[in-house]
Amino acid sequence: MQKIAYFIRPIRDEDIPQVSELDHESFPGERLFRSYTSYKQEIHNSLAHYIVACIKSEVNLQAEQENPIKISWGRRLFGYRQIMLTRKWHNNTHIREYIVGFAGLWAMLNEAHIIAIAVKNDYRQIGIGERLLISIIEMASQLDANVITLEVRVSNKIAQALYKKYGFQIVGTHSKYYSNNDEDATLMSTGDITSDPFQSCFRQLKETHKQKREGSFVQLV
């Protein structure tokens, strides 16, 4: 099983170009937002809470300057035109943070609504999406939500199976919810996430995921 060290942290303004690319890749016909401004407004909305999954790559500045072919190869490898540079320097190197997933929710009163969970195509099936869901549920608990809801395409059985694993149940359907192809949306909701049964099951699932993916997830910042 492939393992990649990554970490999860709150979204920042400088992440928007990468998140926009990932949004377009994951939801080509139904993007969450269309412009840089709309992304920025969303992540600064007091009701919205977004996180990103990142991997880090140390880059030698001198090597980049002396070998332009290597730069081009690196960009092709990462598959992204505008990788954000962090302000961490050591021995003439800087660290690039490459975003491989993001997730977000809206918190209103005692309810949290998952807006999206997305992982880059090349990084799927290695536990990142599940870890993002775990982090979103933890975030909802910290925001004093009692219930978490979401919509998912009726055809997306893989996502539905993951949500069911974490206590979501189908509660209805939105007819022709997705405008790009008029596909229906399946409505899903948890029970009370503060209840002892939910929390007990959630703890077990987190521990199982941690053991299965040990060495992949680094930290929640």
Catalytic status, residue 151: yes
Catalytic status, residue 163: yes
Q: Specify the residue for token string 């309810």.
A: 111
Q: Specify the residue for token string 């890749």.
A: 25
Catalytic hit among 98, 163, 177, 183: 163
Catalytic hit among 6, 39, 151, 166: 151
Nearest to 78 by CA among 51, 105, 57: 57
Structure tokens at 136: 């979103």
In angstroms, the CA 11 to CA 102 distance is 8
Question: 22, 78 in Cβ contact below 8 A?
Answer: no
Active-site annotation, residues: 151, 163
